[in-house]
Amino acid sequence: MIEKLSQKQIGQRITELRKLRGLSQEELAKRVRISRSSLTQIELGNRCVDILELQQLSLELGFSLDHFMSADFSASQETVVQPEAKSIKQEQRITVPVFYVGKFKNVLLYILERCAGKPNVGETVLYKLLYFSDFNYYELHEEHLTGATYRKLPYGPVPQKLDPIIQQMIEEGQLQRVKTDYHGHSQTRYLPLEKADFTELKASEKEVIDRVIEQMSDWSAAALSNYSHKDMPWLASKEGDIINYELAFYRESPFSVRNYDEELEEQ
């Protein structure tokens, strides 16, 4: 039976079908000939789909309009064309990040090289600089910078498994932990005792980190925490949950670091 669907329901069904077929948002947007930001807004339920777009989506995702609009819709009931091995591999890469410990240590050392002398850069600011470096790089390049996992906590995203890594770096003479007083509050700071190994960082990775440092490293901990609370990956996650990197593709200005409309025009 055909039913009237809300924009949000349509977006959810398109998302389910896209993921079932192992397609990224960018791949599907190219096939349907719309911008990636438009597809993002459709999947979020913030933009309606016209009939021509829906027909094109049905061809690319392999669903019938009757079943798509029915009350008993199930993505798994549609005829699924097995995606190519490359698509499966790509989907696994997106959803299961690999944590590069060596890369993480060098990103941490590089940020501290640039910022450790600033009195505002305690643990809270450092965590946010790491978070925005990781998620901005992922949005731009669809590859993980460090692959670190971040959990949604009250003061913003916090990298996980950081304590044993920092302790190891302290024991190996790479870092020094110090306690200071900052505006009447106790502050934990880290000082780099050696330089980052730039052979571990690509030029594109360093460029993203530099932009984050230039934009945010002078902000107070409170200002940076409040800013991170408005970023879509943090907003769309549940308290205490690991933040999914794919949520970076749902960002809007001023958080998005990628111009999807410009990319489409260049094709």
- Asked if 172 and 49 sit in the same domain, the reply is no
Asked whether residue 103 falls in the same domain as residue 198, the answer is: yes
What is the average pLDDT score of the chain?
A: 85
Choosing from 89, 114, 141, the residue where a domain stops is 89
Are 136 and 23 in the same domain? no
Cβ pair 35, 260 in contact under 8 A: yes
Angle separating helix axes 7-20 and 51-61, nearest 10 degrees: 20
CA atoms within 13 A on the CB side of 91: 15
- 132-148 pLDDT per residue, tens: 999 999 999 988 999 99
Token representation of residue 149: 């996992």
Structural domain of 253: 97-257
When mean pLDDT is compared across 57-71, 200-214, 239-253, the lowest value belongs to: 57-71
**Is 211 inside any structural domain?**
yes
Quick check: 187 and 181 in contact, CB under 8 A?
yes
> Does residue 210 share a domain with residue 129?
yes
Residue bearing the bigger pLDDT, 107 or 88: 107
Query: How many domains are there within the chain?
Result: 2
Report for 54-58, 160-164, 213-217: range of highest mean pLDDT: 213-217
48-105: per-residue pLDDT in tens? 888 778 888 888 888 887 778 887 777 765 444 433 433 333 443 444 568 899 999 9
- Predicted TM-score (pTM) of the model is 0.66
From 89, 113, 140, the end of a domain falls on: 89
Query: 128: helix, coil or strand?
Result: helix
Whole-number percent of the chain with pLDDT over 90? 51
Find the helix or strand (DSSP H, E) in which 39 lies: helix 36-44
